[in-house]
């Protein structure tokens, strides 16, 4: 291509192309150079933030060398790539991960010591990249880590939000949201001002016959917004592969934008236009498992899909291949329905721009896309109103109608006269206003649809997508059980445990093949090993206790049982069940004599998680937890027997401290509501036990680690519907022990009882949709069993080690290999010089 240096002049380039540091001295040289020149600071003016910046820039240089090579290798190899489209990438911190993945954390630690710093302090300077809400966004981040670690040619595509998920503060027991401006200094991103795409909105569709008598469809006028690419390197663990995460940022298009307005007294309106364009990528919608149908959200979705598709098509066209080869070069995975417009956009490009015939184009489209469903909750299933799409994306609405027609005609041929079936599977819901069902569009436009855990994948086939199983047969639907990266969630978060495991297994190979953990089973009776195992858990609890003291002022006993529930606050996840259980425990403790109280297993109940800013019930739950904590933590009769902690601003970097420190974690959603859950896997991998319902991945975790190693309780998913029905039509009585809890709340013990009325009424008066009352008794009894089991530390540690040894299945590496084999049909790209980890 024109921009490449001529062959005979490449000698000088090759001679000077940087190699990156390898030794401690070289590392120090790079850090000091960056601090003094890139940052214009000196040794008289170098705080921890400056040292963090210099260190990151040194590692970034290293990554970018391998990044360049990886991209060249992938281009020359000319094989199929996977593009992972996700509105959320919850990456957390990058520096620690980069150090470990390139295998130079030891070098950095020693180098930083020479320069007067501790590596932990430097790492903790970094602001989390928090471009996600919860499980879905973190899953995308784990997938990127596995894709790179397994050498798959893969790109992530997302939005570069100026504000990630809000920071949470607790004031007087209430959640307060603080904007998360995270881009002040972000050494990990590369702006690509030369990689831009103009994205069109609004306007109208012009259909006409051109001079040669050809039908032409053109989408005209409206407004243009420019997408600029920002790239972040994604290093694999123990491999030179560095993949790319490309995030789009919006700004007013220079072609479109009316600069003359600035001079003609319309300064304000010119600035307003500009701000409107920038608003598209300004902020992440802070809802987990909820879609509210706002126009700006739809704009975000189209902006990102159009820019990404344009980029992918541009790259494909450079290969000079014909269109029918597109699905052999490109696989696109839709992370939930958020990127479904990408299906319509590709069809539009093929039909309107490339002039392909409908069936040919549609065949290419469906071979290209795969769709992952992450929820069955009705309030989370996306629907967009037809008038909204008509206005914003008039051509796309036409294409959606044509896609629907083409699909329904197929259905009609196979199931003649079944008008009911036709209306049930129609992409258009015939309501007022009419709505586009995005999940149906995603199914129709993809060749494979997958759920994220076995139960969930079965449920989508028998409930929300039942009719599509009739239409397509069962093989279009499949399961890929979620996984987590053991690099971040074991090696990085729990280095001592990782080291202990490595000492028994003879190295760190298990981080690349997690099934090797089963080689721990022979050590289950090894006294010294068990002792060390328990000591590491204890040290992690001491560290968390220090964090709790520093952030809440409450002193907790690290010998107590640490009971953790950290995840987004949602009624279906049932933090209310947990806190009602805590109140019940408090009532029980108050009924004991001082003598008897000394005999109970002391417990610290730890909560953390954000409520969506508009989700009042979730905010009420947070309020109750905090008020209960105030009362119990200050009750002198209770002391260490029970403490209740709400940790502010739960995020990825805090999870790295919390997860290794739990004895028990709670995964207690109403059966059939949590698609998978992934923190359950993180806790068990770190030697924590689980109390859980038979929901999501809990079921498969049980199958892998054994029933005797997990505390299961509650009703089964197949009984949920009947129980709900019974709440309305049977003679339904709230559990009497739960009623005692409600009575204490109503007495004003935890402050103004009216604040919590809605929480109680949801159960006593509004049908207890999430079955809190039905599961309360078995929850309590299971918690009592946990107390008993914890008293026998010997037995507890055995369960802990056995569980870890059997967690190999839950690595995201296994998960990515399944996607690659069964959905994407892609191969890893061989790398010559595999580095030692």
Phi and psi at residue 826, to the nearest 5°: -120, 160
> CB within 8 A of 720, min separation 6: which ones?
670, 671, 672, 771
Q: Would you state the structure tokens that stand for residue 85, as one six-digit string?
A: 């489209």
Nearer to ligand Z16, 305 or 582 (CB): 305
CA nearest to 409, candidates 382, 427, 436: 427
Q: Which stretch binds ligand Z16 (CB under 6 A): 44-52, 70-78, 129-137, 300-308?
A: 129-137
Q: Would you state the structure tokens that stand for residue 407, as one six-digit string?
A: 């699909």
- Total of chain residues touching ligand Z16, rule CB under 6 A: 19
Q: Is 678 a catalytic residue?
A: yes
Q: Is 374 a catalytic residue?
A: yes
- Exactly one of 35, 90, 136, 332 binds ligand Z16 (CB under 6 A); that residue is 136
DSSP 64: H
Q: What minimum distance in Å lies between the beta carbon of 133 and ligand Z16?
A: 4
Q: Would you state the structure tokens that stand for residue 304, as one six-digit string?
A: 């990102």
Residue 199: enclosing H or E segment and its boundaries?
strand 190-201
Answer for the pair 738, 593: CB distance below 8 angstroms, yes or no: no
Answer for the pair 245, 158: CB distance below 8 angstroms, yes or no: yes
Active-site residue, selected from the candidate residues 338, 567, 574, 584: 567
- Contacts with ligand Z16, 86-105, as mask; x by CB under 6 A: --------------------
Q: What minimum distance in Å lies between the beta carbon of 609 and ligand Z16?
A: 12
Burial tier of 6 (Cβ tally within 10 Å: 0-12, 13-18, 19+): exposed
Q: What minimum distance in Å lies between the beta carbon of 373 and ligand Z16?
A: 8
Nearer to ligand Z16, 281 or 678 (CB): 678
- 651-680 residues near ligand Z16, rule: CB under 6 A: 674-678
Separation between Cα atoms, residue 637 and residue 588, nearest integer Å: 12
Nearer to ligand Z16, 375 or 633 (CB): 375
Active-site residue, selected from the candidate residues 34, 448, 597, 682: 682
Given its phi and psi angles, is residue 40 left (phi above 0), alpha (psi -120 to 50 degrees) or beta?
left
C-alpha separations of 535 from 311, 337, 506, 532, 806 in Å:
51, 45, 21, 5, 21
Q: What minimum distance in Å lies between the beta carbon of 525 and ligand Z16?
A: 35
Q: Does residue 139 bind ligand Z16 (CB under 6 A)?
A: yes
Q: Which stretch binds ligand Z16 (CB under 6 A): 9-17, 116-124, 132-140, 716-724?
A: 132-140
Q: Which stretch binds ligand Z16 (CB under 6 A): 63-71, 316-324, 372-380, 798-806?
A: 372-380
C-alpha separations of 314 from 74, 195, 257, 720 in Å:
16, 11, 24, 49
Q: What minimum distance in Å lies between the beta carbon of 335 and ligand Z16?
A: 9
Separation between Cα atoms, residue 510 and residue 143, nearest integer Å: 18
CA nearest to 460, candidates 444, 479, 435: 479
Q: Which stretch binds ligand Z16 (CB under 6 A): 133-141, 217-225, 461-469, 764-772?
A: 133-141
Q: Does residue 135 bind ligand Z16 (CB under 6 A)?
A: yes
Nearer to ligand Z16, 633 or 812 (CB): 812
Nearer to ligand Z16, 125 or 372 (CB): 372
Nearer to ligand Z16, 380 or 544 (CB): 380
Nearer to ligand Z16, 24 or 338 (CB): 338
Q: Is 567 a catalytic residue?
A: yes
Q: Which stretch binds ligand Z16 (CB under 6 A): 112-120, 128-136, 592-600, 820-828?
A: 128-136
DSSP 166: P
Active-site residue, selected from the candidate residues 573, 603, 643, 799: 573
- 714-773 residues near ligand Z16, rule: CB under 6 A: none
Nearer to ligand Z16, 483 or 558 (CB): 483
Q: What minimum distance in Å lies between the beta carbon of 438 and ligand Z16?
A: 12
- Contacts with ligand Z16, 439-458, as mask; x by CB under 6 A: -------------x------
Q: Which stretch binds ligand Z16 (CB under 6 A): 135-143, 352-360, 362-370, 488-496?
A: 135-143
Nearer to ligand Z16, 568 or 643 (CB): 568
C-alpha separations of 79 from 234, 316, 329, 330, 830 in Å:
19, 11, 6, 9, 11
Q: What minimum distance in Å lies between the beta carbon of 456 and ligand Z16?
A: 8
Nearer to ligand Z16, 136 or 691 (CB): 136
Q: Does residue 696 bind ligand Z16 (CB under 6 A)?
A: yes
For the stretch 115-146, what's the b/e string if a residue is b when 16 or more beta carbons lie within 10 angstroms of its beta carbon? bebebeebbebbbbbbbbbbbbbbbbbbbbbb
Q: Does residue 134 bind ligand Z16 (CB under 6 A)?
A: yes
Q: Would you state the structure tokens that stand for residue 774, as one six-digit string?
A: 């039905």
Q: What minimum distance in Å lies between the beta carbon of 468 and ligand Z16?
A: 18
What is the number of other CB atoms lying within 10 angstroms of the CB of residue 573?
Answer: 27
Separation between Cα atoms, residue 332 and residue 210, nearest integer Å: 34
Cα pseudo-dihedral 773, 779, 780, 781, rounded to 10: 120
- 383-422 residues near ligand Z16, rule: CB under 6 A: none
- Exactly one of 457, 482, 492, 633 binds ligand Z16 (CB under 6 A); that residue is 482
Q: Would you state the structure tokens that stand for residue 65, as one six-digit string?
A: 């060398």
Q: What minimum distance in Å lies between the beta carbon of 836 and ligand Z16?
A: 33
Separation between Cα atoms, residue 297 and residue 303, nearest integer Å: 10
Q: Does residue 133 bind ligand Z16 (CB under 6 A)?
A: yes
Q: What minimum distance in Å lies between the beta carbon of 91 and ligand Z16?
A: 15
List the Cα angle 315/319/320 in 5-degree steps. 120
Active-site residue, selected from the candidate residues 488, 530, 568, 570: 568
> CB within 8 A of 285, min separation 6: which ones?
292, 294, 297, 300
Nearer to ligand Z16, 340 or 375 (CB): 375
Q: What minimum distance in Å lies between the beta carbon of 479 and ligand Z16?
A: 12
Q: Is 368 a catalytic residue?
A: no
DSSP 465: T
Separation between Cα atoms, residue 705 and residue 708, nearest integer Å: 8
Q: What minimum distance in Å lies between the beta carbon of 695 and ligand Z16?
A: 9
Q: Which stretch binds ligand Z16 (CB under 6 A): 127-135, 143-151, 234-242, 628-636?
A: 127-135
Answer for the pair 399, 388: CB distance below 8 angstroms, yes or no: no
Separation between Cα atoms, residue 622 and residue 624, nearest integer Å: 5
The strand ranges marked E within 355-470 are 369-372, 383-385, 428-429, 435-437, 448-451
Nearer to ligand Z16, 133 or 626 (CB): 133
- Exactly one of 96, 231, 311, 336 binds ligand Z16 (CB under 6 A); that residue is 336
Go through the chain and tell me how many residues it has: 837
Separation between Cα atoms, residue 289 and residue 568, nearest integer Å: 10
Q: Is 573 a catalytic residue?
A: yes
Separation between Cα atoms, residue 428 and residue 434, nearest integer Å: 7
Active-site residue, selected from the candidate residues 241, 620, 678, 782: 678
- By beta carbon distance, the residue nearest ligand Z16 is 135
Active-site residue, selected from the candidate residues 162, 374, 488, 623: 374
- Exactly one of 112, 247, 365, 380 binds ligand Z16 (CB under 6 A); that residue is 380
Q: Would you state the structure tokens that stand for residue 472, as one six-digit string?
A: 């397509």
Measured in whole angstroms, how far is the alpha carbon of residue 312 from the centre of its chain? 23
Nearer to ligand Z16, 638 or 675 (CB): 675
Residue 43: enclosing H or E segment and its boundaries?
none
Q: Would you state the structure tokens that stand for residue 229, as one six-digit string?
A: 């690419």
Q: Does residue 289 bind ligand Z16 (CB under 6 A)?
A: yes
Q: What minimum distance in Å lies between the beta carbon of 571 and ligand Z16?
A: 13
- Exactly one of 126, 128, 145, 288 binds ligand Z16 (CB under 6 A); that residue is 288
> Rule CB under 6 A: which residues touch ligand Z16?
133-136, 139, 288-289, 336, 374-375, 380, 452, 482, 674-678, 696
Catalytic residue set: 374, 567-568, 573, 678, 682
């Amino acid at each position: 291509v024109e921009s490449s240096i001529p062959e005979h002049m490449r000698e000088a380039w090759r001679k000077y192309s940087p190699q990156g540091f390898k030794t401690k001295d070289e590392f120090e040289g790079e850090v000091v150079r960056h601090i003094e020149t890139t940052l214009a600071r000196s040794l008289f003016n170098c705080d921890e933030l400056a040292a963090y910046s210099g260190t990151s820039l040194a590692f970034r240089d290293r990554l970018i060398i391998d990044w360049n090579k990886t991209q060249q290798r992938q281009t020359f190899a000319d094989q199929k790539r996977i593009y992972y489209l996700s509105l959320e990438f919850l990456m957390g911190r990058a520096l620690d991960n980069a150090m470990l993945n390139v295998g130079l954390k030891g070098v950095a630690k020693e180098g930083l010591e020479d320069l007067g710093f501790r590596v932990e302090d430097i790492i903790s300077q970094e602001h989390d990249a928090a471009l996600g809400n919860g499980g879905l966004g973190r899953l995308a981040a784990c997938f990127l880590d596995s894709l790179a670690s397994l050498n798959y040619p893969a790109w992530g595509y997302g939005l570069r939000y100026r504000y990630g998920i809000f920071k949470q503060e607790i004031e007087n027991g209430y959640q307060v949201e603080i904007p998360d401006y995270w881009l002040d200094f972000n050494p990990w991103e590369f702006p690509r001002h030369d990689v831009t795409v103009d994205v069109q909105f609004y306007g109208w569709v012009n259909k006409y016959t051109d001079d040669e008598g050809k039908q032409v469809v053109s989408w005209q006028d409206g407004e243009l917004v420019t997408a600029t690419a920002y790239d972040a390197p994604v290093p694999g663990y123990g491999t030179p592969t560095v993949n790319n995460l490309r995030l789009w940022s919006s700004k007013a298009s220079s072609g479109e934008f009316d600069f003359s307005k600035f001079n003609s007294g319309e300064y304000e309106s010119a600035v307003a236009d500009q701000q409107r364009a920038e608003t598209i990528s300004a902020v992440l919608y802070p809802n987990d498992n909820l879609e509210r149908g706002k126009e700006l959200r739809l704009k975000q979705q189209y902006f990102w899909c159009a820019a990404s598709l344009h980029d992918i098509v541009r790259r494909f066209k450079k290969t000079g291949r014909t269109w029918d080869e597109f699905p052999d070069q490109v696989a696109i995975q839709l992370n939930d329905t958020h990127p479904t417009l990408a299906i319509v956009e590709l069809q539009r490009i093929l039909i309107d721009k490339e002039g392909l015939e409908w069936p040919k184009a549609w065949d290419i489209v469906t071979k290209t896309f795969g769709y992952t469903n992450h929820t069955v909750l009705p309030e989370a299933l996306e629907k967009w109103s037809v008038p909204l799409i008509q206005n914003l994306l008039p051509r796309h609405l036409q294409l959606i109608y044509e896609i629907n027609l083409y699909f329904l005609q197929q259905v009609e041929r196979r199931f003649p006269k079944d008008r009911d079936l036709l209306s049930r599977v129609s992409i258009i819901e015939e309501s007022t206003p009419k709505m586009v069902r995005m999940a149906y569009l995603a199914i129709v436009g993809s060749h494979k649809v997958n759920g994220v855990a076995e139960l969930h994948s079965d449920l989508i086939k028998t409930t929300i997508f039942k009719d599509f199983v009739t239409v397509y047969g069962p093989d279009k639907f499949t399961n890929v059980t979620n996984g987590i990266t053991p690099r971040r969630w074991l090696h990085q978060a729990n280095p001592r445990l990782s080291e202990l495991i490595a000492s028994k297994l003879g190295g760190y190979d298990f981080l690349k093949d997690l099934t090797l953990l089963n080689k721990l089973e022979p050590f289950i009776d090894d006294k010294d090993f068990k002792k060390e195992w328990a000591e590491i858990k204890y040290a992690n609890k001491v560290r968390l206790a220090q964090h709790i003291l520093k952030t809440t002022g409450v002193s907790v006993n690290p010998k107590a049982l640490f009971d953790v529930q950290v995840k987004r606050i949602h009624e279906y996840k049932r933090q209310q069940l947990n806190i009602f259980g805590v109140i019940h425990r408090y009532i029980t403790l108050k009924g004991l004599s001082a003598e008897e109280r000394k005999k109970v297993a002391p417990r610290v109940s730890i909560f953390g998680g954000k409520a969506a800013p508009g989700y009042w019930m979730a905010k009420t739950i947070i309020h109750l937890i905090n008020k209960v904590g105030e009362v119990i933590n200050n009750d002198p009769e209770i002391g260490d027997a029970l403490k209740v902690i709400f940790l502010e601003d739960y995020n990825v970097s805090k999870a790295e401290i919390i997860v290794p420190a739990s004895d028990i974690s709670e995964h207690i959603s109403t059966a059939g509501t949590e698609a998978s859950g992934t923190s359950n896997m993180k806790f068990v991998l770190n030697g924590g036990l689980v109390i859980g319902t038979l929901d999501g991945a809990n079921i498969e975790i049980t199958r892998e680690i054994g029933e005797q190693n997990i505390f299961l309780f509650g009703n089964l998913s197949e009984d949920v519907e009947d129980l709900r029905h019974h709440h309305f039509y049977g003679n339904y009585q709230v559990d009497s022990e739960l009623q005692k809890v409600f009575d204490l709340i109503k007495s004003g013990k935890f402050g103004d009882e009216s604040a919590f009325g809605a929480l109680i009424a949801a159960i006593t008066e509004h049908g207890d949709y999430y079955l809190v009352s039905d599961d309360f008794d078995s929850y309590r009894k299971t918690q009592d069993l946990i107390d008993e089991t914890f008293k026998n530390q010997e037995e507890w540690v055995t369960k802990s080690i056995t569980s870890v040894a059997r967690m190999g299945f839950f690595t995201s590496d296994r998960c990515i290999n399944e996607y690659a084999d069964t959905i994407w049909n892609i191969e890893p790209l061989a790398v010559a010089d595999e580095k030692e980890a």
